Structure 1
Amino acid sequence: MSQCEQPKYMIKFKELDNKILLCYSSDYPTHNWVYHELDKSGRVTISKVFKFSQKNLSSAFNKEDEEAPVEFEVAVKDGEYYRFPKDILSLKHDLYVHEDIKLERRFFVAERNISIFPKIDNMVNRPIYIGGDEEDAISMPVYYGLLKTFPNTNELNKYVSARISGVLSSYIEINDDYEERYQQYLNKKNGRKGANLQYDFSNLELIKFTSISEKLNSMLEDEVSYTEAQWQEELLQIILLLYPKYIHAFKEAPVRDTYNKADRKIDYLLIDSSGNTDIIEIKKPFDKCIVTTRTYRDNYIPLRELSGTVMQIEKYIFYLNKWGKKGEEKLTEHYKDELPENFKIKITNPSGIIIMGRKKGMTHEQVQDFEVIKRKYKNVIDIITYDDLLERLKFTISQWSKTHNKLIQATGRGMGR
């Protein structure tokens, strides 16, 4: 840094012999008052922030050059940092500022002469580090972001007007809605902004859903090579990725048939992150298992395979609901080693998912009647064909692709990071 010259502003910093000097000058009143104050009381406060004593003074009064700035030693070099003694800034801990940081008054003082570091110092129990690689150091982008959060004069005035009008409006008529104006100002002001998670994960989501789509298409092209059990296991992996709310699927989960006093087994019991239970039935996608090929009174009706699967899930839901709290305790105990610690399984109006059949090859009328059948059970059971799954994947991939491309254009970043 260059030597101090007559500053344009009142305060300037310079580096000299591994020290930082604060240079203070003033046109009116002249800065010579600083020397008089030090002679009189032994201490002086500069810019309502920096508190100096005679021992910090690095310059001397010069009658021949009264415009020369007053200089104080404010920091000394300590490794890659400059250490600001706590008493100079009225802190409980020393302040360390990295050597690469350019110092200026606004680094220490916010609008209306608010001293920044005492605010931070009151919230921590250790020295404050700004910049560099020190553990727990505040990075410069974060620190300058913090400076922007301090209210400026305009914001403070609007806030005061809003508070006053809020009290007075109950008693007298106010000529404007100052509270609304303050809220409008806050809405326009840039708030806290973190990492763009959509950008960070959009490419990963594209890869994930594209891989799922390719996997499902491959399975459907070669379904005959899978046994029913193998098919269910493979598809369950896909379902857990498509429905991330579920954290586990238990095969042959026990359930008590309290009416017949018998133990039953649910093919797959889904558990979501809140502990709630749902049931899923997965069938291989053989043809003609959804609706009839001929109409009954001008309607296509469910085939036995679909009707039987719906009935099976309805019975499982019935068993679970009747089992109630005792069932929750039994299931929680049964699966405690496979679930997070203190996790509780809940039976709260379970719903069902059926994955079976193809819409491929169905007529328009058959598809329409199938939609009527699906909606009949919609409040309890979601009936999904393999073509529905493929379509959902197609739209999901398309949307993530658009999102990713828009974010690349908006941020100016390429695919690689």
Structure 2
Amino acid sequence: MNISFRKKNSQLILDYTPDYGFEGLRSKLDKDGDMLIKHSFWVKKANEVTERSDKHEEDDDYSDEMFSFIIGSESGSYYMLDKQIINTEHTFYIAKDITISPQMFVAHRNISILNKIDKLISRDIYIGGDESQEGFFPLEAFERLLSQFPNSTELNKYAHARVAQVLRNYFDEVGNVDYDFQRYLNKKTILQAPHLYRDIVPINLAIYKSSLELMVEMLNSSEAYAEKQWQVMVCDIVRLIYPKYILAKREVTIRGVGNHDKRPDFTLIDAGGFVDILEIKKPDKQRVITTGQYRNNYVPDRDLSGAIVQIEKYVYCLSHWGDAGEKTLTIKFEKDLPKGVGIHIVNPQGMLILGRSSNLTKKQKYDFEIVKRQYKNIVDIMTYDDLLERLNNIVSQLVRNR
């Protein structure tokens, strides 16, 4: 492109060397007081830098047939672009440490990039720089956006496809141009698709790593936590492992059978509004499997058996609450859920966390796995060591995927 940008003092300057007709453009600018450059910059005579000293005379690319215009000014750690020049309703800021290129402003066939963005947003945009800034737009995301603008090949194929849609109804020789266009788009999408998973790996790694560290710290000093505080913190960690749950409500009353209402530790609601149950027991003195054998088998310890019976009752009562329960819970959770999400009680399942398993023998762990798999209404029974192992495996895999 025959435009370039430079930073001088506190100003951002656009240099424009026309391919031809410099004198005509000079006359028009002097007469009309404005000029449109690349269909993207509406500059005025008042924006022009007229002193030769302000143009880089030491630059070999300097030309007497070059216009220079001030298009932005310094604003903290950003350059604030003149929105009248770039023809936008909102103000665009570009971090001062970013190398500014023509491709950031003008796409193929002189499409104004910032003008297109401006029509889709309702706030000022800060490209790069401070992540805490409202309206922050990461440079990496902006560059990815630039790659999505159509090139000449794509535009030509699109035009051919639109024309062919009409012509092939009347002329047999018109081929399937639309298929060719779609195949091109599919190929481009594969090549240019943003690696969303890879982009968020550092964020997820930080979250899961800190959760693992917190869980280890909690287990090392579990006696320092009140039971309710413990349960709330563990519930948050569990929801990281089961991200489908968008809401966890503590001690919600469930209509019981025989007027014995139930209050499980947490009622979990997934993104579709379906309900499950979570019970969390502190690890102190909770045992999951017997130390002695019954007929050469290790069986559930009393603590585990009691917790399983408890959660089975919760699931039973919830299932028999039916339509009345759905209506009651929908009203109760209305302010906590996205608009339009209602509660559904359909084959609810329970989840149980208790005790430790790191001190079990290999045979005890094997029998414990058999125990965990025999309860159809309980989707998962985890010890705190299971929870640690899952967090650690997630962290390890995220490290590999960085």
Fold shared by both chains (TM-score > 0.5): yes
Question: TM-score w.r.t. structure 2 length?
Answer: 0.63
Structure 2 residues without counterparts, runs of 5 or longer: 51-61, 240-244
Does 1:350 pair with 2:353?
A: no
Residue 376 of structure 1 deviates from its aligned partner by 2.5
Whether the aligned pair in 2 keeps the contact of 1:12 and 1:104 (CA below 8 Å) is yes
Question: What is the aligned partner in structure 2 of residue 198 from structure 1?
Answer: 201
Alpha-carbon distance change, 280 to 99 in structure 1, aligned in 2, over 3 angstroms: closer
Residue 48 of structure 1 deviates from its aligned partner by 5.1
Question: TM-score w.r.t. structure 1 length?
Answer: 0.61
Does 1:211 pair with 2:214?
A: yes
What is the CA–CA distance in structure 1 between the aligned matches of 2:382 and 2:168, rounded to whole Å? 61
Larger CA Rg, structure 1 vs 2: 1
Residue 109 of structure 1 deviates from its aligned partner by 2.7
Alpha-carbon distance change, 148 to 43 in structure 1, aligned in 2, over 3 angstroms: same
Moved more, 132-141 or 176-185: 132-141
Matches for 1:245-264 after TM superposition, within 5 Å? 245=245, 247-250=248-251, 253=253, 255-257=255-257, 260=258, 262-264=259-261
Residue 393 of structure 1 deviates from its aligned partner by 1.2
Question: What is the aligned partner in structure 1 of residue 269 from structure 2?
Answer: 272
Residue 110 of structure 1 deviates from its aligned partner by 1.9
Does 1:183 pair with 2:177?
A: no
Whether the aligned pair in 1 keeps the contact of 2:81 and 2:91 (CA below 8 Å) is yes
Moved more, 105-114 or 174-183: 174-183
Does 1:24 pair with 2:14?
A: no
Q: What letter is aligned with 2:315? A: I
Question: What is the aligned partner in structure 1 of residue 293 from structure 2?
Answer: 293
Whether the aligned pair in 2 keeps the contact of 1:11 and 1:24 (CA below 8 Å) is yes
Question: What is the aligned partner in structure 2 of residue 111 from structure 1?
Answer: 108
Secondary structure of the structure 1 residue equivalent to 2:256: strand
Question: What is the aligned partner in structure 2 of residue 412 from structure 1?
Answer: none
Residue 367 of structure 1 deviates from its aligned partner by 5.1
Question: What is the aligned partner in structure 2 of residue 415 from structure 1?
Answer: none
Q: What letter is aligned with 1:202? A: L
Question: What is the aligned partner in structure 2 of residue 317 from structure 1?
Answer: 315
Does 1:390 pair with 2:388?
A: no
Structure 1 residues without counterparts, runs of 5 or longer: 1-8, 60-66, 220-224, 408-417
1:26-45 deviations in whole A, cap 9, x for unaligned? 4xx56444467779999876
Alpha-carbon distance change, 94 to 209 in structure 1, aligned in 2, over 3 angstroms: closer
Matches for 1:16-165 after TM superposition, within 5 Å? 22-26=15-19, 31-34=22-25, 47=38, 69-70=64-65, 72=67, 74-75=69-70, 80=75, 84=82, 86=84, 91=87, 105-123=102-120, 146-160=145-159
Q: What letter is aligned with 1:250? A: E
Alpha-carbon distance change, 99 to 285 in structure 1, aligned in 2, over 3 angstroms: closer
Matches for 1:398-413 after TM superposition, within 5 Å? 398-401=393-396, 403-404=398-399, 407=402
Residue 183 of structure 1 deviates from its aligned partner by 0.7
Alpha-carbon distance change, 130 to 209 in structure 1, aligned in 2, over 3 angstroms: closer
Pick aligned residue for 1:243 from 228, 238, 242: 238
Secondary structure of the structure 1 residue equivalent to 2:153: helix
Q: What letter is aligned with 1:24? A: T
1:80-107 deviations in whole A, cap 9, x for unaligned? 5687583x66x36597777968776545
What is the CA–CA distance in structure 2 between the aligned matches of 1:232 and 1:99, rounded to whole Å? 48
Residue 399 of structure 1 deviates from its aligned partner by 3.9
1:59-118 deviations in whole A, cap 9, x for unaligned? 8xxxxxxx97445564477675687583x66x3659777796877654543212223444
Q: What letter is aligned with 1:113? A: N
Secondary structure of the structure 2 residue equivalent to 1:280: strand
Q: What letter is aligned with 2:260? A: D
What is the CA–CA distance in structure 2 between the aligned matches of 1:304 and 1:154, rounded to whole Å? 71
Whether the aligned pair in 1 keeps the contact of 2:201 and 2:401 (CA below 8 Å) is no
Q: What letter is aligned with 1:155? A: E
What is the CA–CA distance in structure 1 between the aligned matches of 2:10 and 2:265, rounded to whole Å? 74
